[in-house]
Structure 1
């Protein structure tokens, strides 16, 4: 009778505690988080905790996320550490929730530029503690004993992990212009064995891009300069589409309207010495920024290549210098009588086929049958 729990008096008490935890995390309030953990997430004799630390409390990108994942998303190292250490939150539970958006926690940290959190999290990630990146362990529950479904489960898991890990954390940071993350990774692994995903010159298996080529997509001169001058990244390679750094700059200057691309062009060509004459016509065709076009045309002119974008466009134009198609009056008259969506080629052009019997003699009956079944759209 006197055993009534406070949750009975407050039907939405659990939601109330969740909201308080959300607020505490958003304020990065370690004391408040500790208080909530002690009061409501502890398991006592004959009593279930009101608040479950590994269960979702918010949505990120439309998907559920738990307290640890939310603190990571916001980049609050203190909140993340207290939830992990004192709250005994599971890294694998957080990773599983992030897998729903096809990303890993390390990807989010690098994309969003959470440098301090990366410093704290990196040892966990490299150590793979608590099956940190195996976000499918709980849901797949693979068994070591032979099973009819084990192989398909392993294949499915492998496919999903490949999808998630296509872009390395380092490349994600470079794409987003997170120089602070690039600097930390470079310094962290300077005297350590470097995994491929943090190796400056490692080429992506799908695209063939290394860090240098990825930086050309960002249009971030500071990162390009840092990779070249400090990391000695290789800007001379080609990706799997046979594009060099200059061509990648050209493509992305069109996708991202940013004035700084011209500075990147100058640095990559004048300072690094990437070959701008390689497939220069294709490069000029892609470019849209007039100042970059003028710069490249001038560089080519200095090398004895007199060319401009408009002449190249004329050269490769598919629409210019074409003679309009005209029909003979007799043929036009025949076609004007066609009605409906189908017609018999042989019937309409019976006379022409008779006159051309000799020329058509080498064509098989089967070929003629296929010609007679051509379908045309209604003319309006």
Structure 2
């Protein structure tokens, strides 16, 4: 699948490109390194020229070999290219800018963890340099995509918000640890509020009902969950709205952790929240928590006042046999789970 540009250079060069593409597809660093060594002997100074040519054709796109390695997540080949030829990272970034993407956003969207670790120091150094020089245009090109391949991801999300939305725990975890002793660029800051919705990574994790991501952000990153977004929605409202497209178990696990461990303020807008709740277990749980605070109110009472009709709740088959139990029996999270030490609860590669 070479392009006309490569074929015009002769059969031998076209064959080299085909072999290179095969090695990249297989993430075969050893064979690729042998090929590059042989090319350097045969072509001398022409090796880098070949690497910069857009001579790998996939669909409507034409890639140069290093950009192709980044595109498909061929991490070992990406390391090899960028280690042997330092300027190739710039060429890869320029390719993605040409596609109206940023390399960092794309890596975070795809979850290419090994490439992320390798690219991160270069990205941070360049980001800081551009920021110091007030090179806003280049900074925006480096940091943001004007679109994501996944159309469900808002284009105004920062790279770390994209990783959070996509559920890439390893990237988020590694980023938190990497910047434990220094301030990250705002594009990789889990606390940053995006300009469109005023959401940070914590609120985005709630939109996905992602319990493991919530736990990571709170325990390892000390992320703030007690915020409201631009629409004035609290964490519980955001979570409840998202629950309508997620499993009951995911939602119940998240809301119990949000209330029992994170200690979110449940008195704020409690009537609006009760009216939104639909899961029977969560309704009982929330009513009991309010009762413990001296607020004697039920969803049924509120609906009789506001709607003059019986309460309509969704029953979860998983909990039907247990509905006669008290909410505390279903939902209590042991006190010792507060700040349980996230590193000991998951096995995540961070090296």
TM-score (norm. length: structure 2):
0.67
Residue equivalent to 1:96: 94
**SS of corresponding position for 1:272:** coil
Residue equivalent to 1:114: 112
Please, which of 217, 228, 234 is the counterpart of residue 244 of structure 1? 234
**Gaps (5+ residues) in structure 2?**
1-6, 132-136, 148-154, 309-351
What aligned pairs does 1:292-307 form with structure 2 within 5 A after superposition? 292-302=282-292, 303-307=294-298
What aligned pairs does 1:279-290 form with structure 2 within 5 A after superposition? 279-290=269-280
Residue equivalent to 2:192: 202
Pair 1:268 & 2:258 matched: yes
What aligned pairs does 1:125-204 form with structure 2 within 5 A after superposition? 125-128=123-126, 163=146, 166-204=156-194
C-alpha separation in 1, matches of 2:145 and 2:17:
34
**SS of corresponding position for 1:259:** helix
Gap change, CA 1:43 and 1:166, over 3 Å in 2: farther
Contact 1:253–1:287 at 8 Å: present in 2 too? Answer: no
**Gaps (5+ residues) in structure 1?**
1-6, 134-153, 318-380
Gap change, CA 1:245 and 1:22, over 3 Å in 2: same
> In the comparison of the two structures, how many residue pairs are matched?
288
C-alpha separation in 1, matches of 2:191 and 2:47:
51
Residue equivalent to 2:82: 84
- CA deviation map 1:248-283 (0-9, x unaligned): 111211233462121110000111111233333443
C-alpha separation in 1, matches of 2:182 and 2:41:
40
Contact 2:108–2:171 at 8 Å: present in 1 too? Answer: yes
Relative contact order, CA 8 A, sep 6+: which one is greater? Answer: 2
Residue equivalent to 2:329: none
Alpha-carbon shift at residue 294 of structure 1 (Å): 4.0
C-alpha separation in 1, matches of 2:55 and 2:286:
53
C-alpha separation in 2, matches of 1:46 and 1:178:
40
Gap change, CA 1:171 and 1:48, over 3 Å in 2: closer
- CA deviation map 1:193-219 (0-9, x unaligned): 322122232211221112221221232
Contact 1:83–1:89 at 8 Å: present in 2 too? Answer: no
- CA deviation map 1:207-233 (0-9, x unaligned): 111222122123222221222222221
Residue equivalent to 1:23: 22
Residue equivalent to 2:34: 35
C-alpha separation in 2, matches of 1:56 and 1:284:
59
Gap change, CA 1:256 and 1:44, over 3 Å in 2: same
Residue equivalent to 2:221: 231
Alpha-carbon shift at residue 48 of structure 1 (Å): 9.7
Contact 1:177–1:223 at 8 Å: present in 2 too? Answer: yes
TM-score (norm. length: structure 1):
0.62
Contact 1:221–1:264 at 8 Å: present in 2 too? Answer: yes
Alpha-carbon shift at residue 14 of structure 1 (Å): 5.5
C-alpha separation in 2, matches of 1:50 and 1:162:
28
C-alpha separation in 2, matches of 1:79 and 1:310:
63
Please, which of 212, 222, 226 is the counterpart of residue 222 of structure 1? 212
CA RMSD of aligned residues (A): 4.0
Alpha-carbon shift at residue 31 of structure 1 (Å): 2.4
Decide which structure has the larger Cα Rg and report it. 1
Alpha-carbon shift at residue 234 of structure 1 (Å): 1.4
**SS of corresponding position for 1:32:** helix
Residue equivalent to 1:211: 201
Contact 2:211–2:250 at 8 Å: present in 1 too? Answer: yes
Gap change, CA 1:301 and 1:309, over 3 Å in 2: same
Residue equivalent to 2:244: 254
C-alpha separation in 2, matches of 1:98 and 1:283:
43
C-alpha separation in 1, matches of 2:199 and 2:230:
8
- CA deviation map 1:331-372 (0-9, x unaligned): xxxxxxxxxxxxxxxxxxxxxxxxxxxxxxxxxxxxxxxxxx
C-alpha separation in 1, matches of 2:254 and 2:28:
42
